Amino acid sequence: MTGTLVLTGGGRGIGAATARLAAQRGYAVCLCYRQQRAAAEELVRAIEASGSRALAVAADVAKEADVQVLFERCAAELGPPTALVNNAGVLETQMRLEQMTLERWQRVFATNVFGAFLCAREAVRRMSVRHGGSGGSIVNVSSAAARLGSPGEYIDYAASKGALDTLTVGLAKEVAEEGIRVNGVRPGFIYTDMHASGGEPGRVERVKALVPLQRGGLPEEVAHAILWLLSPEASFTTGAILDVSGGR
């Protein structure tokens, strides 16, 4: 077995592609979902049918108690986590900043920033050699929006991913001597349900001409970058943020 992976938001989209690839690479996969239980459990059954180990846990990463449960169940049922992918993320309806409410910003930051911080904290407490762990690897799923700013769509989402990138840079340095590498990926326009949350399910088709490679990306293309960063092949890479965005 390669190790035990805690993967947030693993039932759909980029998370589901990451769960499948991680299982193929030998990880036992503990994935969490917030609402879509059926999708998460179906994925777990498919992974188990292919001979790997997986577990789906209902956990809202924005809730501290849920995150504790996620890590405790992972350790009890699959083994101590050796890898974390902070993938769970949300965005809300496209609009200009002056139309947005404080409540919206709090929801977006609660999942995209504080959820990732909570999971990173629990991972470090368990993985760090400083705390008796045996090391590990963390990948934060950011967005090209952190560089581009998402004007007219969701500056709040873009800013939350900027915060996530700073978590990657700072935590990588903080735990580098404790056996933990921390990296990030910044996907560009990827074909998933997320764009429907913004009110434009066909968004990738509209914007793909802006991408130098002239197309949207597939969740599997992001998953390959995540799995490389998690793996020993990336053993001298920490604090890096890899753009997986077709050149944009």
Point out the residues that are catalytic: 157
Q: Which is nearer to ligand NAP, 1 or 196 (CB)?
A: 196
The amino acid at residue 20 is: R
Number of residues located near ligand NAP, criterion CB under 6 A: 32
User: Binding ligand NAP by CB under 6 A: which of 192, 226, 230, 242?
Assistant: 192
Contact 168, 143 (CB under 8 A): no
| Strand pairing category for 3-8 and 27-33 | parallel
Binding residues among 18-37 for ligand NAP as defined by CB under 6 A: 32-36
Binding residues among 53-72 for ligand NAP as defined by CB under 6 A: 59-62
Q: Tokens 């993320």 identify what position? A: 89
93 binds ligand NAP (CB under 6 A): no
The amino acid at residue 185 is: V
CA nearest neighbour of 240 among 163, 169, 142, 136: 169
User: Binding ligand NAP by CB under 6 A: which of 115, 136, 198, 246?
Assistant: 115
| Strand pairing category for 241-244 and 3-8 | unpaired
Count of C-beta atoms within a 10 Å radius of residue 212: 10
90 binds ligand NAP (CB under 6 A): yes
**Segment interacting with ligand NAP, rule: CB under 6 A, options 22-30, 85-93, 124-132, 175-183:** 85-93
User: Binding ligand NAP by CB under 6 A: which of 4, 6, 9, 23?
Assistant: 9
Interhelix angle 116-127/64-77, rounded to 10 degrees, is 40
User: Binding ligand NAP by CB under 6 A: which of 3, 6, 8, 52?
Assistant: 8
Residues lying near ligand NAP in the complex (CB under 6 A): 8-9, 11-15, 32-36, 39, 59-62, 87-90, 111, 115, 141, 143, 187, 189-190, 192-194, 197
